Amino acid sequence: MRTPKGVILWVTAACAAVLLTLAVGAALQFLAADAEQRPQLIALAVQGAPAVFFGVAILMAAFGAGASWLYRRYPHAERQLAEQARSLLAADAGFRVAAAGAPPLAELAAAINQLADAYHRIEHDLEARSAETRARVEEERDRFAALMSELSQGVVVCNAAGRILLYNPRAAALLAPPQAGGHGDYTPLGLGRSVLALLDRNQVAHALDLLTHQLGTVDRPQASFVATAANGALLRVQVAAFVGADRRLAGLVFTLEDVGQLMGRESQRLRLLQSLATGVRGPVANLRAAAENLAAFPDMPADRRAQFVDIAVAEARTLTERLNTALLAYADALKGSLTLEDMRAADLLAVAQRRIGDTLQLPVAIEDVDAELWLRVDSYAIAHAMTFLAARLAGDYDLHGFRLRAGSGGGFGEVDLIWTGAIVGSDALSFWEGEPMRVGAEETPLTLRDVLERHGGEAWLQVDKIRQIQRFRLLLPKGQAAAPVPLRAAVESRPEYYDFDLFERIEVAGLLAERKLTELSYTVFDTETTGLEPSAGDEIISIGAVRIVNGRLLKQEVFEQLVNPRRPISKESTAIHGIDNRQVANEPTIEQVLPRFYRFCEDTVLVAHNAAFDMRFLELKEAATGVRFGQPVLDTLLLSAVVHPSLDNHHLDMIAERVGVRVIGRHTALGDALLTGEVFLRLIPLLAERGIVTLGQALEASRATYHARLQY
């Protein structure tokens, strides 16, 4: 540690003062002395001057050293300690203060270090605990999300303002886009979007009115309605409100169910009845007239008689035909009741296996199951019926276990309860069929016959005497495989079907330009085109887009559409994007696609790389499509130039490398949109470092950079 300049100055000044005092003293002595003594004094002074200077120098050095020692030991050491103590909070956890100087200072340092130890211990504990809590919350959310994905009903949850916080894959499937393009009213399901746009606005609004009305008076406000989705599906929608601690509306839960099939079957039954009623009346009337004439007039002439007999025979034949035709045409309507659900046979067997095993404490094995087989069943009733049969068998015969099998037999599924050994009489089943099914404490008034009738099914006992194997065979209606859950496997990370942070987010009012980049919703998009000159007739052949909501790239909420450009695609451009004429031949035209894309990006800020190029194509279609993309547009190329003004290369790949985004799936519109989205998210904090936080600032900085770049 060097002695500070102040101390050196101070010591120098003190020495100068001593010298000055000596000089003034000598001068006074000289003035006071006699004239003859003065030469003597001068000689003395000249003689003694070196000694005086030398003495003063020694004095100066000694004094300076002393002052420096004192400074270092006292005020400086204290200040140093204070500084170290201050940096304790910011420094590494291992950093401790060290005291130089007097013993009391060392004690103070030790006390400070003890406090630091205690502080770091608490801090460490807190961190560990909060990490644990975070992990638990994450796990719960994941579990919840997994649960949601498995539900057979569609679920959509929104906050009080109607912004969607959560939806499950089933909801996404039910509200999937219409098959052919060009449906103007379709708005895709997405996080942060308004729930009002999902279905008929008026119906949703009416349900919300009902709920709001119930709020103060009912515990669980609920409303329901049947609506048609844009894709034509007929949905039964149930809306339940949940209320916050302040008794005000906190959010809404929508459950969606496809009732088209149910309604379809119901109306089929009606049509069957109608066709029977009208189709049978005529022939029966004719038959009756002929038969009554024959009975009433036994003496009628032979040719007349023959005529009536012919009529009776012909009408009886017609009647038979009509009956058979009607029953054949509506065979499906007669199968099963309305409350049945489509279920994988393997799942039904697993449920039955567990129930029989748990109830009877006997081993139950699954012998064989057709993995492709779906049944239309009331799974509870069937599992209960199988358990009932197994219990009756085990009660009356000495059985050591059961095997289960499910396979396909013609238009039906066969579900077998199999056992070896005891031969059961053929009348056992017809006896048990009519009993209320009691298993342990669980009893239903239903009989096996009731359950089978409800399914349009049958059951019987089948015996293989040679192998001593017997089985109860249940014949149950086949079902339809449920629609596959979209996109699950294709996405690497956890599906992003929910975002509860949106829950708390207060709707930010005010100008878009003043809103923070981190809180806006974006649509990041890219197009592939037939060439580079839209004014020369080049056309869009593909649009890909992905949404960013609440700072997250929603890989589940994407737009991807090939477009028929109605002009040939050049070989050179096919070489870049791999799309050829054949691929787009049956795709919708830009006039059909743009309105859909417009709905996809409504209420968001657009983001694209080299956005001017893509926007030019969109603008040229405004007149033809009537769709104007008026929202603000951010360009990752320009934003990159804002962040790295000294660099020249702002190709998407280069920026991605610079900001640390892995490049995959380039040169498809969706692949590039995803990459641009990731790059954009990385650019936001880099912009913030430069004081660019709001949309307005980002737009302004982009404009400035654009002009700066033009000047080169």
Partner 1 sequence: MGQTRKVLIVDDEPNIVTALEFLLRRSGYEVRIATNGAEALAQVDSERPDLVLLDIMMPGKSGYEVCQRLRERPELAATKIVMLSAKGSEAEVNKGLSLGADLYITKPFSTQELVATIDRLFASGDGPAA
Instruction: Single out the residue of 462, 468, 518, 570 in contact with partner 1 (rule: CB under 8 A).
Output: 462
Closest approach, Cβ 429 to partner 1, in A, equals 9
Which positions from 60 through 89 interact with partner 1, judged by CB under 8 A? none
- Structure tokens given for 528: 């592939």
8 contributes a contact to partner 1 by CB under 8 A: no
479 contributes a contact to partner 1 by CB under 8 A: no
Burial environment of residue 414 by CB neighbours within 10 A (0 to 12, 13 to 18, 19 or more)? buried
Question: Do 558 and 546 contact (CB within 8 A), yes or no?
Answer: yes
Question: Do 149 and 169 contact (CB within 8 A), yes or no?
Answer: yes
Site size toward partner 1 (CB under 8 A) is: 25
Cβ proximity to partner 1, 360 vs 475, nearer residue: 475
Closest approach, Cβ 345 to partner 1, in A, equals 16
Of 645, 640, 642, 667, which is closest to residue 655 (Cα–Cα)?
Answer: 640
Cβ proximity to partner 1, 416 vs 539, nearer residue: 416
469 contributes a contact to partner 1 by CB under 8 A: no
Instruction: Single out the residue of 118, 460, 491, 508 in contact with partner 1 (rule: CB under 8 A).
Output: 460
Cβ proximity to partner 1, 42 vs 463, nearer residue: 463
d(CA 204, CA 227): 9
Candidates 254-262, 426-434, 542-550, 683-691; binding stretch for partner 1 (CB under 8 A): 426-434
Distance between alpha carbon 692 and the CA centroid of its chain, in Å?
A: 29
Catalytic position from the list 124, 213, 400, 667: 667
Of 528, 526, 525, which is closest to residue 563 (Cα–Cα)?
Answer: 528
Which positions from 285 through 344 interact with partner 1, judged by CB under 8 A? 316-317, 319-320, 323, 327, 331, 334-335
Closest approach, Cβ 356 to partner 1, in A, equals 23
Of 447, 460, 474, 200, which is closest to residue 352 (Cα–Cα)?
Answer: 474
Phi, psi of 155 (to 5 degrees): -130, 135
Question: Do 479 and 343 contact (CB within 8 A), yes or no?
Answer: yes
Closest approach, Cβ 363 to partner 1, in A, equals 27
412 contributes a contact to partner 1 by CB under 8 A: yes
User: Which residues have a Cβ under 8 Å from the Cβ of 585 and sit 6 or more positions away?
Assistant: 564
250 contributes a contact to partner 1 by CB under 8 A: no
Instruction: Single out the residue of 101, 221, 457, 495 in contact with partner 1 (rule: CB under 8 A).
Output: 457
Instruction: Single out the residue of 456, 495, 534, 677 in contact with partner 1 (rule: CB under 8 A).
Output: 456
Q: Does residue 124 carry a catalytic annotation?
A: no
21 contributes a contact to partner 1 by CB under 8 A: no
Cβ proximity to partner 1, 150 vs 321, nearer residue: 321
* Token pair 């490398």 in the structure block, residue: 657
| Residue 395, helix vs strand vs coil | helix
Between CA 438 and CA 445, with CA 444 as vertex, the angle to 5 degrees is: 110
Q: Which amino acid is at 185?
A: D
Q: Count Cα neighbours of 75 within 13 Å in the Cβ-side half-sphere.
A: 6
Beta-bridge partners for 483 = none
467 contributes a contact to partner 1 by CB under 8 A: no
d(CA 629, CA 631): 6
Question: Where is 637: in which H helix or E strand?
Answer: helix 636-643
411 contributes a contact to partner 1 by CB under 8 A: yes
Cβ proximity to partner 1, 37 vs 430, nearer residue: 430
Closest approach, Cβ 460 to partner 1, in A, equals 5
Cβ proximity to partner 1, 21 vs 426, nearer residue: 426
Cβ proximity to partner 1, 75 vs 409, nearer residue: 409
283 contributes a contact to partner 1 by CB under 8 A: no
Closest approach, Cβ 672 to partner 1, in A, equals 54
Strands (E), 534-573: 540-549, 552-562
Closest approach, Cβ 408 to partner 1, in A, equals 12
- Structure tokens given for 553: 């790239």
Phi, psi of 202 (to 5 degrees): -65, -40
| Residue 116, helix vs strand vs coil | helix
645 contributes a contact to partner 1 by CB under 8 A: no
430 contributes a contact to partner 1 by CB under 8 A: yes
Rule CB under 8 A: which residues touch partner 1? Answer: 316-317, 319-320, 323, 327, 331, 334-335, 409-412, 426-427, 430, 456-458, 460-463, 473, 475
Active site residues: 667
